[in-house]
Structure 1
Amino acid sequence: MPGMAEAPKSQMPARRKARKRALDVLFEADLRDLPVEEVLRAYLRRLEQPRPEHLGYAIGLVEGVDAHLDRIDELIASYAEGWTIDRMPVVDRNLARIAVYELLYVDEIDDAVAITEAVELARQMSTDDSPRFLNGMLARIAEFTTH
Structure 2
Amino acid sequence: MSRRQVRESALQSLFQMNVGQVPANEAIGHVLEETNQEIDKEYLEKMVTGTHNNQSRIDSIIEKYSVGWKIDRMPTVDLTILRMAVYELLYEPGTPEKAIINEAIELAKAFSTAESGKFVNGILGKLVQDLDQLRGSVQE
Alignment TM-score > 0.5, same fold: yes
Question: For residues 33 and 143 of structure 1, do their structure 2 counterparts lie closer, same or farther at Cα, with a shift above 3 Å needed?
Answer: same
Cα distance in 2 between the residues matched to 1:95 and 1:36: 16
Residue 42 of structure 1 and its aligned partner are, at CA, apart by: 5.0
Residue of 119, 123, 132 corresponding to 1:137: 123
Residue of 57, 62, 65 corresponding to 2:51: 65
Q: Does 1:14 align with 2:14?
A: no
Q: Name the TM-score, length of structure 2 as normaliser.
A: 0.84
After TM superposition, what 4+ stretches of structure 1 lie above 3 angstroms from structure 2? 33-38, 40-44, 46-49
Question: For residues 48 and 85 of structure 1, do their structure 2 counterparts lie closer, same or farther at Cα, with a shift above 3 Å needed?
Answer: closer
Deviations 1:77-133 (A, max 9, x none): 111122111111111011001100010000221111111100011111111110011
Going by fraction, where is helix more abundant, 1 or 2?
Answer: 2
Residue 40 of structure 1 and its aligned partner are, at CA, apart by: 3.2
Cα distance in 2 between the residues matched to 1:72 and 1:26: 14
What secondary structure sits across from 1:81 in the alignment? Answer: coil
RMSD: 2.0
Residue of 24, 30, 50 corresponding to 1:36: 24
Q: Does 1:87 align with 2:73?
A: yes
* 2:5 aligned partner, one-letter code: K
Structure 2 residue aligned with 1:24: 12
Cα distance in 1 between the residues matched to 2:100 and 2:2: 14
Rg comparison, structure with higher value: 1
Structure 2 residue aligned with 1:105: 91
Q: Does 1:76 align with 2:67?
A: no
Structure 2, unaligned runs of 5 or more: 134-140
Report sequence identity in percent. Answer: 36
Structure 1, unaligned runs of 5 or more: 1-12
The alignment of Structure 1 onto Structure 2 pairs a total of residues equal to: 133
Checking the alignment, whether the CA contact within 8 Å between 2:5 and 2:39 is kept in structure 1 is no
Q: Name the TM-score, length of structure 1 as normaliser.
A: 0.80
Residue 33 of structure 1 and its aligned partner are, at CA, apart by: 3.2
Residue 58 of structure 1 and its aligned partner are, at CA, apart by: 1.4
What secondary structure sits across from 1:86 in the alignment? Answer: helix
Residue of 103, 128, 133 corresponding to 1:117: 103
